[in-house]
Amino acid sequence: MAKRPIDSRNRRTGLAMLLVAVAMLGMGYAAVPLYRLFCQVTGFGGTTQRATEAEAATAAELARSAGGRTISIRFDSSVERGMPWDFKPLQVTDTVSVGQRDMAIFTARNNSPFPVTGTATFNVTPEQTGAYFNKIQCFCFTQQTLQPGQEVRMPVIYYVDPKILDDENARDVEQITLSYTFHEVKKEG
């Protein structure tokens, strides 16, 4: 008769361990989207922010109190190994007023004899500036398909939030580097 309570405890322990394993598997699948969301909200790891036109207008109003402070923006570009594109900024550096919208233009050319779809990953350095670098419009928000030999100009409309001047870890930054890497989107099947 003493065997019944042990069997019951073993079943409960086994069920608890199964639930722990399923929960761990679920967290494994959720980790990437949760980390991406965390980075987008906090600017962690140099993740830039997305902004609306209204938010950009508010930043421009705040910029008037920034006293015309400027910051240098450096543009960096690359493609993953094996991707048959040339990709580069038209201008390597630009000096912008904090809070004011500006536009950078990148060009991409498909050097292959077939259409290629790419998507761009991005970040800024120094990392602590990611929370203040806002993009209103960017080619990196969607996939880009280039036909054989096609060359396109791709704009990025952005601003540096004047709140950067209130952050003791970021206010003395003189240059922000915006980096993009294009990756080929592989076709399913």
pLDDT for residue 92: 95
Residue 57 makes CB contacts below 8 A (sequence gap 6+) with: none
CATH classification for the domain delimited by 46-184, as one of 3.40.1010.20, 2.60.370.10, 1.10.287.1080, 3.20.110.10 = 2.60.370.10
Mean pLDDT across the chain:
82
Residue extents of the structural domains in the chain: 1-42, 46-184
* Inter-residue long-range contacts of 146-150, CB under 8 Å, 24+ positions, other chains counted: 146/85, 146/108, 146/109, 146/110, 146/115, 146/116, 146/117, 146/118, 147/110, 147/115, 148/110, 148/112, 148/113, 148/114, 148/115, 149/109, 149/110, 149/111, 150/109, 150/110
pLDDT for residue 178: 92
pLDDT for residue 175: 95
Instruction: Answer yes or no: pTM beyond 0.75.
Output: no
pLDDT for residue 43: 46
- Parts of the chain with a pLDDT under 50: 1, 32, 35-36, 42-46
Residue 123, beta-bridge partner list: 179
Q: Using the CB atoms, write b or e for 61-85: b if 16+ within 10 Å.
A: eebeebeebebebbbbbebeeebbb
pLDDT for residue 141: 86
